[in-house]
Amino acid sequence: MRSLGADVVEVRLPKHLEALDAFIIPGGESTTIGRLAVLYGLVEPMRDAIGAGLPVLGTCAGMIILASGTLEGDQPQLGALDVVVRRNAFGRQVDSYEAPIEVAGWSEPMVGVFIRAPWIAKAGDDVEVLASVEDADTGESHPVFVRQGTVLATAFHPELTQDTRVHEMLLSMAAAAKED
Ligand code: GLN
């Protein structure tokens, strides 16, 4: 984000959400992020800010936090994105991989870095699917990059590549939201 000219602040407490033009929920471990978000009183403030139109990008665990449900157990989720995710959908750490993925509307594919990544098992009608991957075992296709209004989510880690197109999308959403 800095390389694209954005000023970056870390969000650790609700007050850090106040002056943002856009927000990123990063990858990591969604149970840990969820637990800390509850502990620091961030769940409702995040939900309110996103509900009020603050553009947000969730990557990997961040996508899980944004989602409305998971297939396995319960954990704090914001319900900002009308999808149900399968955590660790590609398998264990050793099944982490990189592969080029085709994104709707882009002429060049991007490299998707999947690290114990989720995929989307079910998406609501308002969710625009920008990229999917095929499950080699079943041949079924699962969304891994989606947009719903001002909510953007990737199952992979765009920040681990030099490709800034996903982050640029977030910045254009922020610029558009400012004009409204
Ligand atoms: N497997 C993690 C989870 O379930 C996500 C991994 C990641 O963010 N790279 O939350």
What integer is the mean pLDDT of 2-9? 96
Structural domains of the chain ordered from first start? 2-179 (3.40.50.880)
Chain Cα centroid distance, residue 104: 17
- Rounded to two decimals, the pTM is 0.96
| Catalytic position from the list 98, 128, 157, 168 | 157
Residue with the nearest Cα to atom 2 of ligand 1? 29
Share of the chain above pLDDT 90, in %: 89
CA separation for the pair 167, 172 (Å, rounded) = 9
* Nearest ligand 1 atom, CA 28: 8
pLDDT tens for residues 109-134?
Answer: 999 999 999 999 999 999 999 999 99
Give the Cα-Cα-Cα angle 131, 102, 128 (nearest 5 degrees): 25
CA separation for the pair 97, 109 (Å, rounded) = 16
pLDDT tens for residues 44-101?
Answer: 999 999 999 999 999 999 999 999 999 987 789 999 999 999 999 988 877 888 999 9
Spatial neighbors of 143 by CB under 8 A, at least 6 apart, are 83, 119, 120, 123, 127, 129, 130, 131, 132
